[in-house]
Amino acid sequence: MVDHLANTEINSQRIAAVENCFGASGQPLALPGRVLLGEGILTKECRKKPKPRIFFLFNDILVYGSIVINKRKYNSQHIIPLEDVTLETLPDTLQMKNRWMIKTSKKSFVVSAASLTERKEWISHLEECIRHLLTKTGRQPSTEHAAPWIPDKATDICMRCTQTKFSTLTRRHHCRKCGFVVCADCSRQRFLMPRLSPKPLRVCNLCYRQLLAEKKKEAEADLRQTEPICSAIQGYEPSSGDDSDKSDDDKAERWPADTEFYTSPVSWSSFHS
């Protein structure tokens, strides 16, 4: 299908129509060899509540955004490279059925389709595109994924201390490492996670200690690697730093860090052909 549609006028028109719907707020989507394979509305589990989102599947990217006027105007465009995507089927809940998770290194989130058939078709086409891309580039499937945020309504108390109750005055926060809903006292720390952001991000106290321990281990490993090199240099002594350039107890934690909230139990509105 991709080879058949690539560089055709109808494909160019379809991509131009999507660009026009996003307007100036969206990024250009037309590239040589890029093909729009399908589109549809899925329900995305957002922090506050599930919301409908428009999704467009291309042969190399997944694009989604908020619906202002269906088929006419969209905003808040997000572009996800398919090489970075891993899919996981999820069980139904009372609120949402036909769910699955889209996991990437920067962001992971849950979506649901209008029917089981629609979910199967979305997943089938996504997996086929991902497989084709990885084969083409020689890359291995992504193994590091951002934690999905637990929805606000999933809990009325902090998921770390289990004592603080959320209210209008007591805000909910999310740990960027584990995705738990936590109170301010349990998430005062910030940690730099370059994979997610160039700026330090809010993390819960438990994840902060774990991240510090991992950083310490990495530093010790780097030091062990440099020691043989330094000892092999005759007369080498570590710098004292004198001539260097000048330049600008937690509460009980009852929620283990490895708790899985999105474990799986072992509409695609149109195809373009």
For the chain, domain boundaries: 3-146, 149-221
Tens-digit pLDDT string for the chain (273 aa)? 666 777 789 999 999 999 999 999 999 999 999 999 999 999 999 988 999 999 999 999 999 999 999 989 999 999 999 999 999 999 998 889 999 999 999 999 999 999 999 999 999 999 999 999 999 888 888 888 999 999 998 999 999 999 999 999 999 999 999 999 999 999 999 999 988 889 999 999 999 999 999 999 988 888 887 766 555 555 444 433 444 444 444 444 455 555 555 554 444 444 444
Our separate counts of H helices and E strands in the chain read: 4, 12
Give the single-character DSSP code of 95.
Answer: S
Same fold, 3-146 and 149-221: no
Give the phi and the psi of residue 262 in degrees, each rounded to 5: -125, 50
Q: What is the CATH number of domain 3-146?
A: 2.30.29.30
**Contact of 56 with 112, CB cutoff 8 Å:** no
Q: What is the DSSP string of 110-158?
A: EEE-SSHHHHHHHHHHHHHHHHHHHHHHTPPPP---PPPPPPGGG-SB-
**Quick check: pTM over 0.85?**
no
- Which bin fits 71, alpha (ψ -120 to 50), beta or left (φ > 0)? left
Query: In angstroms, rounded to a whole number, what is the distance separating the alpha carbons of residues 133 and 127?
Result: 10
Q: What's the CATH number for 149-221?
A: 3.30.40.10
Q: Quickly tell me which residue has 């129509």 as its tokens.
A: 17
Q: CA-CA distance, 213 to 13, in Å (whole number)?
A: 53
